[in-house]
Structure 1
Amino acid sequence: MSMRHASFHIKLTTASYKGHSCYFLHFDSMNDQNMLVSAFPSFKWSTHHKLYYVLKKHKPLHVLFSELRRVGCYVDYSEVISKRTPVQAAVKKVLHLPELALKKAKKLDQFERWMLEKRLSKNTITTYIGVTALFLRYLQLKRATEINALWVQRFNHDYVIQQNYSISYQNQCINGIKKYAEFCEVDFVLDSLERPQKPKKLPIVLTKEEVKSILDATHNTKHKTLLALLYSGGLRIGEALTMQVTDVDSKRGLLFVRSAKGRKDRYTLLSTKILILLRHYYKQYQPKTYLFEGRNGMPYSNSSAREALLKSVQRAGITKPGITLHTLRHSFATHLLENGTDIRYIQELLGHKSPKTTMIYTHVSNDCLKNIKNPLDEL
């Protein structure tokens, strides 16, 4: 049964978690949960509530609803709506969009196939389909017959800004519509549309001692090997989960990272310790194709890896907020910098296109900051 034509039932509730307003997802069955969570990286696991959740600021209700409906979900959000007070309801002017016409829905399916052929990532395609569907429904509401810069500006004002959606979501909308215009071979310029800059936040970084305590608290061999590999190679979770057994080059002491972000292959470090751990793991699990396999020989799921990390963090007694699988990659880069590794080599190991991206680690490196003399001490 394909995800696209499956039928799932999800109930949404809302609550505050770690100081953030969230939507919590209640699944009818564990099987439904496992199938869906692997398709939505934005779903996070709450060890306190024992439920998956998504931050409201990252996924407005209509976007979450649209994405879930596209994979065949029946979404019960009555409890979310009932919790809105009259004051809250008055804050936003709700724009009721009509259902997408059949002709436009078929065009949207063609757009999805076109993006697949362009090899855009699954997450990007899902986002672009969601925001473009909203834009097309807005055009139907306004009885507009063409796509142009003026209608994009009006949609941006009437739908995104008036309803106070995030800067990140606003940029996603514009990028998705531009991609759809490219698909439709419609040429227009959006120079007059001001694109707000997203706030630049520094990454969360663990100390070496904290990384060690997390690995020591991970008792499952597969989980320990995966987390250690993410840190020792500075890998993105998607890169680790699609890594094949043959990508481990033990003779050269390197890991081959295939078709990473930007479709670029690269090599990264393979430590002696991780090689010992990998050999022990291989003897126990004997993976066939993918280094970390789940059911039926498919890649291990993102959600299972995320859950394993959160449990280990909890067992290690680390209370630092915002720790994710990507935190291990940030920590790898920061620790290399603190060890004196040239930032150009770190850029290559991480697979960054621009050195500007790698430079962010100079802002979180303790050693770099400690070596700067405070002018007050010289008075």
Structure 2
Amino acid sequence: MAGRVAIIENARLVLPDRVAAGWLAVVDGRIAEVGEGCAPERGLDLSGDTLIPGLVELHTDHLESHYAPRPGVRWHPLGAVLAYDAQIAASGITTVFDSLRAGTDPDGSGLGSELGALAQAIADARGSGLFRAEHRTHLRCETPSADVVDTVRAFAARFPVGLISLMDHTPGQRQFRDVSKYYQYAGRGGRPIAAIKAGTARKIRDGAAMNAVNRPALVALARERNIPLASHDDTTLDDVAMSCAESVALAEFPTTREAAQASHEAGITVMMGAPNLIRGGSHSGNVAAQDLAEAGLLSILSSDYVPASLLMAAFRLPEQVPGFSLPAAVATVTANPARATGLDDRGRIAAGLRADLVRVRIAQGIPVVREVWRAGERVA
């Protein structure tokens, strides 16, 4: 569509405030005009399919599963990045913050020194024009890690960073208040329970001291570079108070209604996982996304570990939560995450914004991506 006028007609448009039958015109990668009813001239006929803005994903762990598909296995970095990008675009995501773990876990998990190789593959793909989606970087910083501050400082000196999240997965608090849930999580790769318990004891012993040093250092680094901050798995009012003092902008997956409520009242945007909504609850036994949506506390959904869940959750939300309109639900995966990260040129179907668009058809009760455009160019 770039470089000429292109019309998309006979569409069910999900606009910021309503759903309407209509059309839009794209010029040079941007939405030039939006209208209701019949288009002024013929164009691409969507046959009544739904047209929504391109999805904006702030937290997906899925890249690492392409790079490390099995314990001890590493795939070609560029090949992994491109396979991941294809899956992201096919899920309707046109802007993605690739979540990369910074900081080596005491049990040896995480990317460690391989973080730079994966980031370089992302930079190479971007520089060569190979990407379908627009890729930005979200550094997931494990604050109890001995090397996290040095790792983030070195990374930020080489690569752009669009978001930093402060994470503490020490068992016994935040996401893993129930230590038995942590044992299940840590044992996914078949690790012996004795090794898991030994590592857990070590994490509990050292976690608080490491976190006390590293978290302030990461906050200072983010401020120096004007990088938005997210706090991961806030659970208590004390957690939220600390986030407020740090000028955190985004509450990622608060684990309790209490923390979500306090974050919302403090002006911190609350994000929950789309899989949580689809599955009907948290796999870690924490607060349900639907409960927060019903309470008016949910602003953003993230696909977390299943890219396709983002679109499914946006269309499921109005069905599960009375009073949640389709435009409001779509905004949780488009306009709201774009706004939270300062991307004001996308996330809505409106004149002047970037033509990031997704054609959706409902099939057997679920939304199916049929076509995807980024800046007016078809990418899936």
Larger Rg: 1
For the criterion TM > 0.5, the same-fold answer is no
TM-score, normalised with respect to structure 1: 0.21
Give the structure, 1 or 2, with the largest relative contact order (CA under 8 Å, sep 6 or more): 2
Bigger helix share = 1
Bigger strand share = 2
